[in-house]
Amino acid sequence: MKSLTKAIFPAAGLGTRFLPATKASPKEMLPIVDKPMIQYVVEEAVASGIDEIIIITGRWKRAIEDHFDIAFELEENLKAKGESGLLSEIQRIANMVTLCYIRQKKALGLGHAILCAKNLIMDEPFAVLLGDDIIDSETPALMQLKEVYKKYRTPVLAIQRVKKEDVHRYGVIKGESLGDGVYKVLDLVEKPKPKEAPSDLAIIGRYILTPDIFGILEKTAPGKNREIQLTDGLKEMAKKHPIHAYEIKGKRYDAGDKLGFLKATVELALKNQELGKEFKNYLKSLNLAD
């Protein structure tokens, strides 16, 4: 099997959980401290050995392409001002990785978004990273999945335990524990009601998949919310060959949600080298215990 070098970033969603901020701006471009949230996830992919990223984009998402492109006027301006630190940071963003963009014309679901990249992936394994799941971890989350992939050579899904009342927001697996946080996936359900959930092990937005998922997704009927669900495709796949899941070590923020976004902002700001100390003092001065 070929090595893992490509990743798909589905980013065509309408961001309805974050209106009105996302009326005219892509949610992926909302800044957490000083970077748009998608940049955190692109950096995680690059740190995990990905060198080609396929962004599934849609109308009103042009700002994403501009962010990862060169910014000629800005660069000239920074050069003239002698702002070499900022200049190299801006140039680093444009040179970090090869990017391709595919437009998903209709928001028909995560499974459909992935299917849009079929012709660019061909017969290689690939990663899927969801741009609003920010994972703060010592070892990049995708790198953790890669270790499991190297051992089992099967698709690997990132999972975390969630509260029973929150399972309806996730794809949930039924798994057989193999130890060290690894599970063999026996079944999957997309966004179950708490009493129908097979466990509290929820899929978070990182996957390593094999290209046979495309043929399966092509035959997958719309499921939850009348969208073509990746989880439904994976449920089919698990009947044909093994899939594994791995409990990611790290803190995951659902930054596509207003509260999750605020949590990510506060915690990552506290860790920020430049701002962290002053921000902590500011938070203390608010006497939040009251």
Considering the rule CB under 6 A, would residue 204 count as an interface residue with ligand G1P?
A: yes
Please work out the total of residues on this chain that contact ligand G1P, with binding judged by CB under 6 A: 13
Residues belonging to the chain: 290
DSSP code of residue 14: -
Considering the rule CB under 6 A, would residue 33 count as an interface residue with ligand G1P?
A: no
Q: Judged by CB under 6 A, which of 28, 67, 231, 264 binds ligand G1P?
A: 231
Q: Quick one: which of 132, 127, 122 has its CA closest to 12?
A: 132
In the complex with ligand G1P, which residue's Cβ is closer, 140 or 232? 232
* Chain centre distance of CA 209: 14
DSSP code of residue 222: P
In 54-123, alpha helices (H): 62-67, 72-80, 84-95, 110-115, 118-121
Q: Which stretch binds ligand G1P (CB under 6 A): 41-49, 83-91, 95-103, 203-211?
A: 203-211
Considering the rule CB under 6 A, would residue 205 count as an interface residue with ligand G1P?
A: yes
Q: Which stretch binds ligand G1P (CB under 6 A): 87-95, 100-108, 177-185, 223-231?
A: 223-231
Considering the rule CB under 6 A, would residue 246 count as an interface residue with ligand G1P?
A: no
Sketch the per residue contact string, 147 through 186, with ligand G1P: x for CB under 6 A, - otherwise: -----------------------xx---------------
Considering the rule CB under 6 A, would residue 199 count as an interface residue with ligand G1P?
A: no
Q: Quick one: which of 96, 77, 134, 114 has its CA closest to 260?
A: 134
Q: Which two tokens stand for residue 49?
A: 């050995």
Considering the rule CB under 6 A, would residue 203 count as an interface residue with ligand G1P?
A: yes
Sketch the per residue contact string, 37 through 66, with ligand G1P: x for CB under 6 A, - otherwise: ------------------------------
In the complex with ligand G1P, which residue's Cβ is closer, 92 or 164? 164
Q: Which two tokens stand for residue 124?
A: 């290689």
Strand partners, 126: 209
Does the N-terminal peptide bond of residue 20 adopt cis geometry, omega within 30 degrees of 0? Answer: yes
Asked if 255 and 134 touch (Cβ cutoff 8 Å), the reply is yes
Judged by CB under 6 A, the chain residues 87 through 146 that form the site for ligand G1P are 110, 130, 133
127 burial via Cβ count (<10 Å: 0-12, 13-18, 19+): buried
Residues that bind ligand G1P (CB under 6 A): 110, 130, 133, 170-171, 190, 202-205, 229-231
